[in-house]
Amino acid sequence: MCVVLATLLLLTGVGLSRLREAQKAARGNPLQCQQNLQQIWMAFQDFATDHAGRLPWQVSMREGGSLESIPGGQAAPHFRSLTNTLRNARVLLCPVDPIRHRKATISTLEDSAISYFVNVSATLGARNQVLAGDRTLSPTPDATTGEIWVDGRSELQWASPTPGAPGHQTWEAGEQTGNLLFNSGTLMETTSPQLQRVVRSIGVRTNHFILP
């Protein structure tokens, strides 16, 4: 009886271990998203170095920027402006974002191939301003796309990238999380309550987020 029980416990342990490995593989490597955002920040920095400290949405398309694209409400033109500094479109894909198109190049980039939002109100001179982050930031429990205007009174949360997909989660509680990239290059992974504290710190100034 003891031998049978020990065997069952061993098999159960092996099964749980394989289940955890399968769940981890299904989620992809969440650290890759943070590494991607770090590369995106360096690309914005390089662009600013070549354009008098300005970011793409502050620079006319005639000079290689994306200023005129802001009314279109798409993120892709602002990332396409980084062609000279961001050579690989895979940097714009988070491995836990399952519904993004994965065969794009920077020059042919569309919103369907991007996992990160941009804040076209951001400047490098502002203090501690959100520059970009995971596209799953949303004013509703479901992921959204398009433009949102954010100030300190806004209500935001992290959503799943698509129904049934886990996205970023805390391992212990399964709570949705997401990554924010600040104009200083600082990265912050937050839960929804922590995200809301960041939003409160924005104050009265309106920020224009574009979610692909």
Query: What is the predicted pLDDT for the residue at 97?
Result: 83
**Whole-angstrom Cα distance, residue 34 to residue 46?**
19
Query: What is the predicted pLDDT for the residue at 96?
Result: 83
- Residues 80 and 72 sit within 8 Å (Cβ to Cβ): no
98 to 120, 160, 162, 164, 184: CA distances (angstroms): 25, 10, 8, 10, 29
Q: Which amino acid is at 125?
A: G
**Whole-angstrom Cα distance, residue 24 to residue 147?**
32
Query: What is the predicted pLDDT for the residue at 174?
Result: 58
Stated pTM of the model? 0.81
Query: What is the predicted pLDDT for the residue at 128?
Result: 87
Residue 210 has pLDDT above 60, yes or no: yes
Confidence label for 209 from pLDDT (cuts 50, 70 and 90): very high
Query: What is the predicted pLDDT for the residue at 85?
Result: 86
- Residues 74 and 111 sit within 8 Å (Cβ to Cβ): yes
Q: Which amino acid is at 47?
A: F
* Cβ-based neighbours of 133, under 8 Å, separated by 6 or more: 37, 116, 117, 178, 179, 180, 181
**Whole-angstrom Cα distance, residue 36 to residue 39?**
5
- Residues 61 and 200 sit within 8 Å (Cβ to Cβ): no
Residue 6 has pLDDT above 70, yes or no: no
Helix/strand/coil (H, E, C) string of 41-79? HHHHHHHHHHCCCCCHHHCCHHHCCCHHHHHHCCCHHHH
Q: What is the pLDDT of residues 11-47, one digit of tens each?
A: 444 444 443 443 444 445 668 889 999 999 999 999 9
Q: What is the pLDDT of residues 125-183, one digit of tens each?
A: 888 899 999 999 999 888 889 999 999 999 999 998 765 555 554 444 457 899 999 99
- Residues 170 and 190 sit within 8 Å (Cβ to Cβ): no
The torsion region of residue 124 among left (phi > 0), alpha (psi -120 to 50) and beta comes to alpha
Query: What is the predicted pLDDT for the residue at 164?
Result: 54
Residue 80 has pLDDT above 90, yes or no: yes
Q: What is the pLDDT of residues 88-124, one digit of tens each?
A: 889 999 888 877 777 778 888 999 999 999 999 999 9
**Whole-angstrom Cα distance, residue 114 to residue 136?**
11
Measured CA angle at 40 (ends 38, 43), to 5 deg: 115
Cα 117 to the chain's mean position, in Å?
Answer: 6
